């Protein structure tokens, strides 16, 4: 409810500032039009730009909680006023975000209450069933995102899309009642068409098939696969539709989740979208290293809850019914929480889970992420951990998929390496896994990158796993990846060119906005 309470004052301040700016601009134009012809058009344009920029800066100072974001926007507005004004109106306003998603937060809370009757869990019963550090994380995630803990999961890990897609398609083929997919990226290529054909076949057999795709992440889906799916009875939903890219604040808030739920019994979660690139069939990227998992057990109910809540937000279709939840599972003994985050929440739930796990580490911290755009809290946490003697290692790609983010990530290397963090750039292909392993007993696997966009702007979902066997499997894969990587040394940092230093500095300046 907190979001609702702050919509009006933020919107009111913005509207007042905008009205004042317009009145001042109109007044200046009228004055020089009728009373003074001595000033040039360029001077008048400069004055108007300064006034508009000043008004926006005043709003920024009054509305933003994070001073790093505020300072970054102010610098952009000062040094690139016209470009800065355009992008601020497109993606920089907070009240638009609150207006768009405050209703979703309320829906999430209501659906969580409704779903409790299908969940055989009791928060008070497992307060102290795991070690104290894990218990702290579990309580945090319950309080900031209502993430319940289930103890009866079986998890199968996949290091790439080659075997994963075959397994997914086999499970889809065996579906009896429903198939739910929620994806950021769903390509219309050979791999995408394999899924298309399998899903259409199940729909023709009478299985309920529903697909949620992000409208920007799967931009071409609407014009190609979407129409085909609908013609065969598959229900397709587009998350946060954007009519004109870059001209609407909706563009900045994307659904980055990758979920499959089959019959309420089997689910998938991880970093892989659907497409040839993720099956290692792209010439530029080559081998695509990722981490995805197949889940059987109580955590599947959590993934189903997330999907149905997002579905309700998009369509008002209410499917919180018994036939979509199978709680007769007795699959395994792995403890796991499903945690979500997004601009609809008052708390940065996934970032907080990373922070408490890192600050509570006693032996080692292993991170794999395609991007490394750190906020101040995580940057200090990693530096502090390394300085205290904890083995902190990070693997990032050695080749870019987004240039500004690639150089922005590298701008964080020096401080981390000087503190003792070991950083490796993957060279076998492209590494896209989003994994955090702490003390070989806790693992986070999901869709959230180690970057500010995932923490603040995207709708993300991670699985937090409390299991030493899964942790050891993840750690073994981590050290295999190190064998296919090159360690970055302080000598590498000292020997970079002046031009590269400029690129790093500029990318670092823009990194809070990425």
Active site residues: 256, 258, 263, 432, 434, 439
**What's the rounded Cα separation, in Å, for the pair 403 and 90?**
22
CB 136 within 8 A of CB 356: yes
| Triad 281, 283, 285: Cα angle to 5° | 85
Q: Residue written as tokens 């319940």?
A: 148
Q: Is 433 left (phi over 0), alpha (psi -120 to 50) or beta?
A: beta
**What's the rounded Cα separation, in Å, for the pair 57 and 318?**
43
Neighbour count for residue 492 (Cβ, 10 Å): 15
**What's the rounded Cα separation, in Å, for the pair 111 and 312?**
9
| Triad 287, 256, 182: Cα angle to 5° | 95
- φ, ψ at 236 (rounded to 5°): -120, 135
Which tokens hold the place of 257? Answer: 């989740």
- Name the H helices within 424-487: 452-456, 468-483
**What's the rounded Cα separation, in Å, for the pair 70 and 97?**
16
Neighbour count for residue 429 (Cβ, 10 Å): 19
CB 323 within 8 A of CB 177: yes
**What's the rounded Cα separation, in Å, for the pair 188 and 69?**
36
Sign of the Cα pseudo-torsion (300, 302, 307, 308, in order): positive
**What's the rounded Cα separation, in Å, for the pair 214 and 79?**
33
**What's the rounded Cα separation, in Å, for the pair 269 and 296?**
11
CB 511 within 8 A of CB 407: no
Q: Residue written as tokens 């500032």?
A: 17
Contacts of 267 (CB under 8 A, 6+ apart): 259, 260, 261, 294, 295, 296, 299, 300, 303, 304
Mind giving me the DSSP string for 321-338?
A: SGGG---------EEEEE
Neighbour count for residue 190 (Cβ, 10 Å): 11
Q: Which residues pair with 319 in a beta bridge?
A: none
């Amino acid at each position: 409810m907190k979001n609702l309470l702050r919509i009006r004052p933020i919107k009111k301040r913005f509207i007042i500032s905008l009205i004042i700016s317009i009145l001042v601009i109109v007044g200046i134009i009228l004055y020089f039009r009728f009373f003074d012809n001595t000033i040039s058009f360029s001077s008048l344009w400069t004055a108007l730009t300064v006034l508009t920029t000043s008004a926006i800066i005043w709003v920024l100072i009054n509305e933003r909680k994070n001073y790093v974001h505020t300072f970054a926007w102010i610098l952009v507005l000062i040094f690139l006023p016209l470009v800065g004004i355009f992008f601020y109106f497109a993606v920089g306003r907070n009240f638009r975000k609150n207006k768009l998603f405050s209703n979703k937060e309320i829906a999430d809370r209501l659906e969580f209450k409704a779903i409790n009757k299908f969940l055989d869990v009791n928060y008070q019963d497992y307060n102290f069933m795991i070690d104290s550090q894990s218990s702290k994380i579990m309580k945090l995630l319950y309080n900031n995102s209502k993430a319940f803990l289930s103890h009866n999961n079986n998890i199968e890990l996949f290091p790439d899309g080659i075997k994963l897609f075959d397994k997914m398609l086999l499970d889809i083929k065996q579906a009896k009642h429903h198939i739910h997919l929620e994806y950021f990226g769903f390509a219309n290529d050979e791999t995408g068409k394999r899924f298309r054909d399998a899903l259409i076949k199940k729909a023709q057999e009478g299985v309920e098939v529903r697909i949620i795709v992000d409208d920007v992440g799967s931009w071409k889906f609407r014009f190609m696969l979407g129409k085909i799916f609908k013609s065969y009875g598959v229900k397709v939903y587009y998350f946060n539709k954007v009519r004109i890219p870059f001209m609407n604040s909706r563009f900045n808030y994307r659904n980055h989740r990758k979920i499959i739920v089959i019959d309420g019994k089997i689910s998938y979660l991880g970093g892989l979208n659907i497409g040839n690139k993720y099956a290692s069939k792209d010439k530029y990227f080559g081998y695509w290293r990722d981490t995805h998992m197949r889940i059987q057990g109580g955590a599947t109910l959590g993934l189903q809850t997330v999907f149905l809540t997002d579905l309700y937000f998009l369509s008002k279709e209410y499917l919180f019914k018994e036939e979509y939840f199978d709680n007769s599972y007795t699959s395994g003994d792995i403890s796991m929480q499903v945690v979500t985050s997004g601009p609809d929440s008052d708390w940065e739930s996934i970032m907080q889970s990373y922070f408490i796990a890192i600050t509570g580490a006693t032996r080692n911290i292993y991170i794999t992420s395609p991007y490394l755009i750190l906020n101040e809290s995580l940057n200090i946490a990693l530096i502090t951990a390394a300085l205290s003697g904890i083995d902190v290692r990070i693997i990032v790609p050695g080749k870019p998929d987004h240039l500004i983010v690639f150089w922005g990530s590298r701008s964080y290397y020096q401080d981390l390496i000087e503190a003792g963090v070991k950083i490796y750039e993957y060279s076998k292909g492209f590494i896209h896994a989003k994994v955090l392993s702490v003390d070989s007993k806790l693992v986070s696997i999901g869709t959230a990158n180690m970057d500010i966009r995932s923490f603040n702007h995207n709708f993300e979902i991670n699985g937090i796993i409390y299991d030493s066997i899964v942790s050891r499997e993840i750690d073994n894969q981590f050290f295999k990846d190190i064998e296919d990587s090159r360690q970055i040394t302080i000598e590498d940092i000292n020997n970079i060119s002046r031009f590269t230093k400029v690129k790093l500095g500029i990318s670092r300046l823009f990194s809070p906005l990425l």
